[in-house]
Amino acid sequence: MDYDCVCAYLLPPRDPGLDVLQRRAETAGARLVAIPDYGPLDLNTVREMVRLCRTHRVAIWHGHDYKTNALGLVVQWFWPMKLVTTVHGWVQHTWRTPLYYAIDKFCLRHYDEVICVSQDLYEECLRSGCNARSCHWVHNGIDTNEFRRRRTVTEARRAFRQQASRLVIGAMGRLSKEKGFDVLIRAVARLLNEGFDLELWIAGEGDQRKELQALTDKLGISQHVKLLGHVNDTQSYFESLDVFALSSLREGLPNVLLEALALEAPVVATRIAGIPSLIQHGENGLLVEPEDEDALAAALGRLLRCTEARRAYAAAGRRTIEDAFSFEHRMRRIAGIYDALLARDHATDAALVGSR
């Protein structure tokens, strides 16, 4: 069955990401509706979501985080629909997130279908009380046509407006403790002490920015580490890298890793959660234990020393995405879940994806 989808974006104040999402939606031909969100007590958000669901006669609400999951339960009181959610992972951002995730796990038990992006999240949802019949493990996917290398490293760096004659290690994500960027910075300091001529480019914003900058200053490597902030042109960014490093302590199956592989950046990643289902050590990338800066430095050094190894891992990573982690493959799985859900109730064929 084909689905008529509307993407609802809850827009927090001063959100810098709306323009990027709007451009992506226009390119994809998707309908994106931005709804202002001023916090948990903002009843106007509920009213707008109810209006949106009624206008489009929504049959399926598909949430993607604790807030849209809770909001779905509320909106369902005013508009009958089926509830589906995707669990992407639970990580510590602030002192309040344990409360948010407790709320989220409560909500999951009342959803018709729960989709998990990795095996560990699937098992965690079952432990949290989700019904095994309504819980599904479906890998994240990537659009292999959009995320395809089109430039050399030199050409990409020119497009990205970052000139570098050195080797470049890249990392991307929220600047928070669970991403392990401090471990990565110390690993890079070790490589510099060993004589590698390299730079580290970290893309992302977050509350740990000052701490990470202070760490680079303390280690005396601030000339070799760039905290790039929010990056709009992720295509050029990934194509500019010699190696992509994921140093996270906790993850589900992160999209940044899929994008790096799809754009043929050789990968070193931590052996956590769903990542070993994507990266086979020594075949399409290298895996290290989390918080082990020695092992991380050794794995990065192994790739930086050998151009042929980087080329081999880059090609193998691209094949992995094409064979098993394409967006088309994922959406067929999700459409099958929708089909089965609606067939049980003979509902209409509109779907609303709620995301924040």
Assess whether pLDDT exceeds 90 at residue 20. no
Q: What are the tokens at 168? A: 């470049």
pTM comes to 0.77
Would the pLDDT of 16 be above 80? no
49-84 pLDDT, tens per residue? 999 999 999 999 999 999 999 999 999 999 999 999
In a domain, 133, yes or no: yes
Model confidence at 291, pLDDT cuts 50, 70, 90, reads very high
What's the pLDDT score for residue 355? 44
Residues 279 and 305: their CA atoms lie apart, in Å, by 21
User: Using one digit for the tens of pLDDT, what is the confidence trace for 234-254?
Assistant: 999 999 999 999 999 988 788
Residue 347: what pLDDT?
A: 45
pLDDT at 354 over 60: no
Give me the percent of the chain exceeding a pLDDT of 70: 95
- Please report whether residue 148 resides in a domain: no
Q: Categorize the per-residue pLDDT at 352 as very low, low, confident or very high, splitting at 50, 70 and 90.
A: low
Report pLDDT digits (tens) over 309-342.
999 999 999 999 999 999 888 999 999 999 999 9
Q: Residue 236 maps to which CATH number?
A: 3.40.50.2000
Tally of domains in the chain: 2
Amino acid at the residue 212: L
Q: In what order do the strands lie in the sheet with 243-246?
A: 225-229, 198-203, 167-172, 243-246, 267-270, 286-288
Same domain, residue pair 173 and 313: yes
- Would you say residue 285 lies in a domain? yes
**Domain hosting residue 256, numbered range:** 153-324
Q: Which of 233, 208, 213, 234 is nearest to 224 (CA)?
A: 213
SS3 content of the chain, % helix, strand, coil (to 5): 45, 20, 35
**Gap between the Cα atoms of 327 and 283, Å rounded:** 22
